[in-house]
Amino acid sequence: MSDFLDKRIQRSKAALKQTCLDLLAEKPFEEITISEIVRKANYNRGTFYAHFHTKEELIDEIIDDTLGEMIRQIRHPYQTIHKVNMKDLNTEEITLFSYFQEQAPLYKLLLSSHIRADFRYRMAKAIEQLFIAEYDYEFSSATELDPKWLYIFRAHGIAGLVIRWIEEDFPESPEYMAKQIVELMLTSTEVFYVKNKHVPKKP
């Protein structure tokens, strides 16, 4: 009996989440009401409040679920490895970009103007928290760099790269992006030149 109830609870909760996303594809989150969600999902307000206190709590759980799966995809290439050498990492094991492409409608929706703008920040923050909790970088030489800033720099850089790739409608393949992300993690530059700048010759 309890197994039946658990499945019924899971079904109603999933239906409310999907209905919220369906409505979000039509109009901004601020214009969506709880009454509209339950009516379209064919449930009553009591069922809604059995799962969520507010519609904001509902969208927060959708975002948490989405980012939780994103983190599982990031972990995939090294889930059975203790020491990860990026040079030896098999890019075919990087499933993150295929995942984003498969979930394109969801991510485009959550990145759209129909939702609070903080989804971009929450993506980056989720990656940052993963790095801080699970990564311990091995530095090749003495450095004054505080690892905290490396985690933040890389996490927000990866998030920005992914968001741009999604917003540009995946102009490159997931395989190409997997190779690029490894190269970005490996590349270090010490010098740059200012383009189109005339430097006067010394007398």
> Do 143 and 62 reside in the same domain of the chain?
yes
Whether residues 26 and 65 fall in one domain: no
Q: Are 129 and 40 members of one domain?
A: no
| % pLDDT > 90, the chain | 67
Greater pLDDT, 116 or 187: 187
- The CATH number of residue 35's host domain is 1.10.10
Residues 131 and 163 in one domain: yes
Task: For residue range 119-151, list pLDDT tens digits in order.
Answer: 999 999 999 999 999 998 888 777 888 888 999
Do 20 and 62 lie in one domain? The reply is no
CATH code assigned at 139: 1.10.357
Q: Is the pLDDT of residue 117 over 90?
A: no
What pLDDT does 196 receive? 82
Report whether pLDDT(166) > 90.
yes
> From CA 150, how far away is CA 104, in angstroms rounded?
29
Provide the residue range defining the domain that includes 15.
1-53
